[in-house]
Chains A and B, each alone.
Chain A
């Protein structure tokens, strides 16, 4: 019942908002649909904590200790972004950047995007996972080009082609997994792609085929995670699309793609008994962290700046998953949560700041703390949180990742520390003049959405000081499930 609601609500929302998405009540409806989705997700989470994993629809869908917290997180950020987009989109219409027809497209596609992400997270079938990931790209292409500017069209085209080609590699990887599975599970049709079935027999899967499959799967889904050097689409799509979409791309889609990589890694690890997948993840992770940290210096656009910061953090998480071991995986899962919350909060604040100064260029944004203290301090606090200042949650997870790196991969620690220091200096030196400095800019025609910004930041603060026992238990059982060599 809850499960039908979880996937059915956003789907119904997409259809209904496709018809009435331009009306005055549409933003409220968008929020209402997201709220019902969140309620369904929370009630499912409570059930999974009680009973362990659940299967639905002939095992085609399942919820276990790994995906349950991502489902809850996705639904939660989906709701807060819907709340944020209400005033944001009203200002955009007032500024003449959008019209009613495009608003309808936005609302409908937003709900469809939520449907595809929740499907990707809950499906047990690796083939359907691929289908849902591709659908997630398709539903956001027209959102990236929502403003129809030259830059947004270029960004949309890059996003479509790079992610399309990337995801084609992942399909080939999926075919290879199916090929290996068929040998063990027989040509029983559908069951040979079910993750739970594959997990049960992963020790018998042909290692040569599985390692080839993993290369394709990692490159394919890794493109969507934004791992360097496959990250080219990411900063453009984040900077040129509307801010609510930047927030959900960064906060949610990257997580979902990484989730797909990790699911595949569990199978390959079981088959290979070598450290090859782990080393590949660590290699891609470190490359992304380093490259993003240095590119941060060169950014002049506030949304591009934080898009590169997302690449950096995805690199850290990928590295931690590659390192393996209970502590590192616990930290990676925690980092996925706090990064998602912090980064979407930053995009909310940055979006309003850019609206206020009518420009996304960092040099044109200044004095936010005087003209609009709430946005200014929201941006500053968010930036400090994402840079890993205590007592925020990012500090806790980065600390855990660094200490386990010292134990397990000492050679990587200086690289990580260097990248973190470079990123710290780069982001702080760019955020400071935006928040302080000489004040300018007019008031926004509508009051900004501050509730989502500060709710997210408060949660990140809470996670840094105290992780509730049930959440820690979730992370631990997920870490056991993912394991690693």
Chain B
């Protein structure tokens, strides 16, 4: 096996860190720290994109790295921190499954993710194909974060982390989506956050809390 070049080694290290951050998010109950982890994940993503851009000399990857930095490291975490301060939600309640249990499920999820990604990775011609499995794992771990949390805010952070995983998947499988699509996705994510901001205040006005336990009235057989 021939030795990997330095930039690829760094890329693989970044991918591994991404996965680690996903696990950290799974275990984190403080919402402020959760948002910081999300911003860190965004920063790793931006660094990986930049490195890939330097390697492949694709202009759209430079743009996409800048976009990631602006949106996921600066704008979104700021919006979320402001929401947290104004709504006063700092802690999530005990997750539906306790943390060691969640981590164990997370491990199984990662193995499954590599299994799913295997046929795609085998066909990929990009230098980063080994990272496709990590991308799928990040997506599934984010999904796990969403389903084990009760607070609306943690679910949203999970949702954004899932978007990070998707973005990383697109990058490692195909060096990113076409520019116009990436711009559209970024716009959607930004609008989604603004809609959520409004939405959270509506929920709080009604229930005096952002705990989703109140959301149990709409069930069948009332």
Closest to A211 in B: B119
How many Å lie between the Cα of A150 and that of B159 in the bound state? 23
The residues of A with any CB-CB pair to B shorter than 8 Å are: 60, 125, 127-128, 130-131, 134-135, 138, 141-142, 145, 148-151, 153-158, 160-161, 164-165, 168, 171-172, 174-176, 178-179, 182-183, 187, 189-190, 192-193, 206, 208-209, 212, 236, 240, 295, 298, 300
**Which residues of chain A come closer than 8 Å to B23, judged between CB atoms?**
none
**Contact in complex: A151, B217 (CB < 8 Å):** yes
**Choice from B174, B217, B222 contacting A154 with Cβ under 8 Å:** B217
B194 to chain A, nearest CB (A): 9
**Is B202 engaged at the interface, CB distance under 8 Å to the other chain?**
yes
**Contact in complex: B166, A300 (CB < 8 Å):** no
Q: Identify which of residues 133-179 in chain B touch chain A, using a CB-to-CB cut-off of 8 Å.
A: 139, 143, 146, 152, 155, 159, 162-163, 166, 169-170, 173-175, 177-179
**Is B47 engaged at the interface, CB distance under 8 Å to the other chain?**
no
How many Å lie between the Cα of A154 and that of B216 in the bound state? 8
**Which residues of chain A come closer than 8 Å to B152, judged between CB atoms?**
157
**Contact in complex: B178, A190 (CB < 8 Å):** yes
**Contact in complex: B169, A175 (CB < 8 Å):** yes
**Contact in complex: A148, B205 (CB < 8 Å):** yes
**Contact in complex: A131, B166 (CB < 8 Å):** no
18 of the cross-chain contacts (CB-CB < 8 Å) are: A60-B180, A125-B178, A127-B180, A128-B181, A130-B184, A131-B184, A131-B187, A135-B191, A138-B191, A153-B215, A154-B217, A157-B203, A160-B199, A164-B192, A172-B139, A175-B169, A190-B180, A212-B116
Given A157-B199, A157-B215, A165-B162: A171 touches B174 (CB 8 Å cut-off): no
**Choice from A142, A190, A192 contacting B195 with Cβ under 8 Å:** A142
B: number of interface residues (CB 8 Å): 49
Q: How many A-B residue pairs have CB under 8 A?
A: 135
**Contact in complex: B166, A175 (CB < 8 Å):** yes
How many Å lie between the Cα of A142 and that of B195 in the bound state? 7
**Which residues of chain B come closer than 8 Å to A187, judged between CB atoms?**
174-175
**Which residues of chain A come closer than 8 Å to B159, judged between CB atoms?**
161, 164-165, 168
Stretch in B32-40, B90-98, B206-214 with 4+ CB within 8 Å of A? B206-214
**Which residues of chain A come closer than 8 Å to B195, judged between CB atoms?**
138, 141-142, 160
How many Å lie between the Cα of A254 and that of B142 in the bound state? 27
**Which residues of chain A come closer than 8 Å to B178, judged between CB atoms?**
125, 127, 189-190, 192-193
**Contact in complex: B215, A154 (CB < 8 Å):** yes
How many Å lie between the Cα of A189 and that of B166 in the bound state? 18
**Which residues of chain B come closer than 8 Å to A183, judged between CB atoms?**
123, 125
How many Å lie between the Cα of A127 and that of B187 in the bound state? 13
**Is B120 engaged at the interface, CB distance under 8 Å to the other chain?**
yes
**Contact in complex: A189, B179 (CB < 8 Å):** yes
**Contact in complex: B218, A158 (CB < 8 Å):** yes
**Contact in complex: A168, B191 (CB < 8 Å):** no
User: Which of B124, B163, B191, B199 counts the most A-chain CB atoms under 10 A from its CB?
Assistant: B199
* 6 tightest A-B CB contacts, nearest first: A127-B181, A131-B184, A154-B215, A190-B178, A175-B170, A134-B188
Given A134-B188, A157-B199, A182-B174: A168 touches B181 (CB 8 Å cut-off): no
**Which residues of chain B come closer than 8 Å to A134, judged between CB atoms?**
188, 192
How many Å lie between the Cα of A145 and that of B192 in the bound state? 15
User: Which of A154, A158, A174, A300 counts the most B-chain CB atoms under 10 A from its CB?
Assistant: A154
**Which residues of chain B come closer than 8 Å to A156, judged between CB atoms?**
199
**Contact in complex: B123, A161 (CB < 8 Å):** no
**Which residues of chain B come closer than 8 Å to A150, judged between CB atoms?**
206-207, 214, 217
**Choice from A128, A208, A295 contacting B220 with Cβ under 8 Å:** A295
**Contact in complex: A179, B174 (CB < 8 Å):** yes
**Is B185 engaged at the interface, CB distance under 8 Å to the other chain?**
yes
**Which residues of chain B come closer than 8 Å to A127, judged between CB atoms?**
177-178, 180-181, 184-185
B126 to chain A, nearest CB (A): 9
**Contact in complex: A209, B205 (CB < 8 Å):** no
**Choice from A128, A141, A148, A155 contacting B184 with Cβ under 8 Å:** A128
Give 10 new A-B contacts, CB below 8 A, not counting A151-B217, A168-B163, A193-B178: A125-B180, A127-B185, A142-B199, A154-B217, A165-B146, A175-B166, A175-B170, A175-B177, A208-B119, A212-B116
**Contact in complex: A142, B198 (CB < 8 Å):** yes
**Which residues of chain B come closer than 8 Å to A298, judged between CB atoms?**
220-221
**Contact in complex: A175, B119 (CB < 8 Å):** no
**Contact in complex: A161, B155 (CB < 8 Å):** yes
Closest to B216 in A: A154
User: Which of A141, A171, A174 counts the most B-chain CB atoms under 10 A from its CB?
Assistant: A171
How many Å lie between the Cα of A187 and that of B217 in the bound state? 50
A29 to chain B, nearest CB (A): 24
**Contact in complex: B146, A141 (CB < 8 Å):** no
**Contact in complex: A153, B206 (CB < 8 Å):** yes
Given A208-B119, A209-B119: A131 touches B175 (CB 8 Å cut-off): no
